[in-house]
Amino acid sequence: MHFVRALPAKKPTQLSVVAASLYLAGFFVVTAVLQLFAFESYPDVIRSYGLPMASELALPFAALVVCLEIFAIPYLLWMKLSPLMRWVSMISGWIAIAYWLVVGIWQGVTDVYIPNAGLFGAKILMPQGRWLVSYCAVLLILMIYVVWSTRRRAISHNKPLAKPSH
Q: Tell me the one-letter amino acid at 133.
A: V
Q: Tell me what the mean pLDDT of segment 125-132 comes to.
A: 81
26-30, 61-65, 116-120, 131-135: least confident range: 116-120
Share of the chain above pLDDT 70, in %: 89
**Average predicted confidence (pLDDT) for the chain:** 85
Number of domains observed in the structure of the chain: 1
- Residue 59's pLDDT band, with cuts at 50, 70 and 90, is very high
- Residue 161's pLDDT band, with cuts at 50, 70 and 90, is very low
At residue 166, the pLDDT reads 52
> Rounded CA gap, 14 and 150, in Å?
10
At residue 153, the pLDDT reads 54
Residue 158 lies in a domain: no
Q: Tell me what the mean pLDDT of segment 42-66 comes to.
A: 87
Of 113 and 132, the structure prediction assigns the larger pLDDT to 132
Q: Which domain holds residue 111?
A: 15-151
122, 111 contact by CB (below 8 A): no
Residue 104 lies in a domain: yes
Contacts of 141-147 spanning 24+ positions with Cβ under 8 A: 142/20, 142/23, 142/24, 143/24, 143/93, 143/94, 143/97, 145/16, 145/17, 145/20, 146/12, 146/17, 146/20, 146/21, 146/24, 146/76, 147/90
Residue 2 lies in a domain: no
**What is the pTM (predicted TM-score) of this model?**
0.83
Residue 5 lies in a domain: no
